[in-house]
Amino acid sequence: MASTTPFTLRWGILATGGIAKDLLTDPSARGADDVRHVVAAAASSSSKQRAADFLHAVGAGAEAKAYGSYAELVADADVDIVYVATPHSHHFQNAMLVLEAGKPVLCEKAFTVTAAQARKLVATARQKRLFLMEAVWTRYFPLSVQVRDLVRRGAIGTVYRVVADNSIQASSTDAANNLVFADDHRMVDIHLAGGATLDLGIYSLTWLFQILYHLQPDADDGKESPRVLAAMDKYRNTGVDESTTMLLHFPRHGTTGIATSSMRFDTGVDAAHPAGPAILIQGSAGEIQVIGSAYQPLQYRVVRRRVAADGQQTATTETKTETETVDCPIPQPGRGMFWEADECARCLRDGRLESETLPLDESIVIMETMEEALRQGGIKYPELITSDVYSADTKGKTTMTASGESAAAYEQAHVHEVYDAIADHFSATRYAPWPLVAQFLAAQPPGSIGLDAGCGNGKYLSAGRERMAGGEEKAACFFLGSDRSAALARLAYDKHGRGRPGADVVLADSLALPFRDGCADFAICVAVVHHLSTRTRRQEAVAELLRCVGGERRCDGGTRETTAANAEAKRGTKTTDTKSTHTGRVLLYVWALEQASSRRGWSAGGEQDLLVPWVKTLRQKKTEDGDRTTRRPTFQRYYHLYREGELEEDVRAAGGHVVSSGYEKDNWWVIADGMRG
């Protein structure tokens, strides 16, 4: 006798995804008495509190666990399956993290950014014999099931064409004709794989594929993939596609599909109550019209041609057709995502590793189709999010760690080019010295030689000057600044180096400083090392600084050490050595992961490798109507957020000795010298 106890599936939500509320709806409201769902845990990459707030908001039980990292979530033994709800750019790394942890995955659409990533996910799932499914929720709607069945049974004859649109009105009313999304919004941010194709066009393609591809009869050489022709309009602010048209041709079957998507207009003038169909499925004996949005349709019409007494079809006129309208409301509460969750539960209950409704090989072909369309449209996403290299060290993050060459190219795009572009705007916000840095510099004795690696606009370079009674400046110590950004180095030189005593500026890479061993008595490196995208490179940068201060340090009987020690003691910091027989010292500052009290809200256990937006405001000329437009281009800067103790570890790994360390204003700092024999 079959069990009457419903199969229970315990979900882990990776990122705060919208499916959670649907999972908690009563299954009986949709006639599902064989499965039930429990939200067992959720994780946010930014903070544990955000995950806890999410669980409370969706009504998860008190037993649901909140995590501040994805690694903790996938290690939870009470989680049966993980729903990946991050932006497209993160799907591959996040889904691989889950699979490597030995758990099944429901991954949001678009499945990945590239077809190679999709193939890698599928191969990994099959090798590990784990369930994997792309979360194209529309496929599992009863409406979609009924439409596929009608086509399969020949209700409208042989299908020759499918036309589908999924568009939204997102144009702003400003004179620049921007979209309403900020440039760092996931819909338009190229670093998050934004654009119409992957976010909107996937739904248009869903209707083409589930009719023209999925329902193809079995063949010895498999299903026929489409030939693709695409046209795109790019969004000038970010370079993603804002409107896309894809023409799919299946020549062996004589069928054609047209999939369109746009962020400039709605599918219908009245998006809430569209008068016409979003999807047309056209056959030799009639057509099926799907009403409502392509992703959440609520009604369909079957329009059949009348057949004459002799069995011949008559001409298509309004008086010679039969129309049947079928409403398919979504049980409330819920949006309709529970149907794909039910499919996951039944597959896992029955031991199936993929869904027959959307097989993994079909997800790969869909990704190949979108990839080809994007190629034809000239859309190229950054290497960071298109790589199919997964390393356990990344813990599902999107930081490139595969090779030094990849890291260098990534830093060029997300650090060096960014600072060159924002140099003036950035410099205008950087004028006040950090208190501890100022104290460190003030403690250096006259005649010292110092380095500022990554000097930015050079605000610390004037610290080595004394102003005489007549207003004339005199160099107390010599300070040499360097920066990888030519624009910032020029600003620093013009303000602090040109014609001024005691300072100069050079263009240099922090990984290859152009200074001889032991040339300096001290060095500072403020907010630089955290821009290097692999740990090896960060440690190499620290080693370069230590190399440059390797000579005997000039000191005055311990005054300098005493001053530093007193300053550190006032801050409650750790001082491990204050002897005067040191090599030169280095002061390092990096952004901290532990910033829970700041507006950023990052906290321990969260994701450490992030792209952080810098919004640059540009005032433009007045238009003919007298309006002044404002552009706010957004630049994504790479940061590695240091956890507590990590900077000390890097200093030691680089051959240094930690003299003291502490925390100041969302930053970790370390004073170090060369390791003594």
pLDDT of 219 above 90: no
Distance in angstroms (rounded) separating the CA atoms of residues 671 and 661 = 6
pLDDT score of 450 more than 60: yes
The pLDDT-based confidence of 351 (bands split at 50, 70, 90) is very high
Q: Who contacts 668 (Cβ-Cβ below 8 Å, separation ≥6)?
A: 589, 590, 591, 592, 642, 644, 646, 647, 661, 662
Partner residues linked to 280 by β-bridges: 163, 289
Between 504 and 281, where is the model more confident? 281
First to last CA, the chain: 77
Percentage of the chain exceeding pLDDT 90: 61
Tokens read off for 599:
């507006």
pLDDT of residue 636: 84
Q: Read off the pLDDT of residues 161-175 as tens digits, 9 standing for 90 and up.
A: 999 999 999 998 888
Q: What is the pLDDT of residues 500-547, one digit of tens each?
A: 667 899 999 999 999 999 999 999 999 999 999 888 899 999 999 999
Tokens found for residue 552: 């005997």
Average pLDDT value for residue range 552-564: 35
* Phi, psi dihedral angles at 536 (to 5 degrees): -60, -45
Map out the domains of the chain with their CATH numbers: 7-137+351-357 (3.40.50.720), 139-332+371-382 (3.30.360.10), 425-593+641-674 (3.40.50.150)
% of residues, the chain, pLDDT over 70: 84
pLDDT recorded at residue 561: 36
pLDDT of residue 429: 82
Rounded average pLDDT over 466-489: 75
460 and 482 in contact (C-beta within 8 Å)? no
Average pLDDT over residues 620-627: 51
Cβ proximity of 265 and 233 under 8 Å: no
Q: Exposed, middle or buried, 381 (CB in 10 Å: 0-12/13-18/19+)?
A: buried
SS3 190: helix
Q: For residue range 133-188, what is the model confidence (pLDDT) as tens digits? A: 999 999 999 999 999 999 999 999 999 999 999 999 999 888 888 999 988 889 99
> Where are the alpha helices (H) located in 79-201, listed in sequence order?
91-100, 115-128, 142-152, 196
- Does pLDDT of 439 surpass 50? yes
Taking 70 as the threshold, does the pLDDT of residue 447 lie above it?
yes
Q: What is the pLDDT of residue 400?
A: 41
Q: Which pLDDT score, from 0 to 100, does residue 586 have?
A: 97
Q: Find all residues with CB under 8 Å of 461, minimum gap 6, and list them.
A: 452, 455, 479, 481, 492, 496, 497, 503, 505
Q: What pLDDT score does 582 carry?
A: 52
What rounded mean pLDDT belongs to the chain? 85
Cis check: omega of the bond before 217, within 30 degrees of 0: no
DSSP per residue over 481-526, as a string?
Answer: EEES-HHHHHHHIIIIITT-TTEEEEE-BTTB-SS-TT--SEEEEE
Q: Note the pLDDT of residue 315.
A: 52
Quote the pLDDT of residue 3. Answer: 63
Q: Strand 656-664 vs strand 667-674: parallel, antiparallel, or unpaired? A: antiparallel
Q: In this predicted structure, which of 70-79, 131-140, 257-266, 430-439 has the lowest mean pLDDT?
A: 430-439
Does residue 638 surpass a pLDDT of 80? Answer: yes
Amino acid at 202: I
Spell out the SS3 assignment of 582-643.
Answer: CECEEEEEEEECCCCCCCCCCCCCCCCEEEEEEECCEEEEECCCCCEEEECCEEEEEEECEC
Q: What's the confidence (pLDDT) of residue 404? A: 40
Question: What are the pLDDT digits (tens) for 292-331?
Answer: 999 999 999 999 987 665 555 555 444 478 999 999 999 9
pLDDT at 341 over 90: yes
Q: Compute CA distances 65 → 35, 38, 57, 104, 298, whole Å.
A: 22, 12, 14, 19, 35
pLDDT of residue 310: 58
Q: Which segment of 60-64, 66-70, 384-388 scores lowest on mean pLDDT? A: 384-388
Three-class DSSP category at 92: helix
Cα angle 226, 85, 363 (rounded to 5 degrees) comes to 20
Residue 431 has pLDDT above 70, yes or no: yes
**pLDDT higher than 70, residue 272:** no
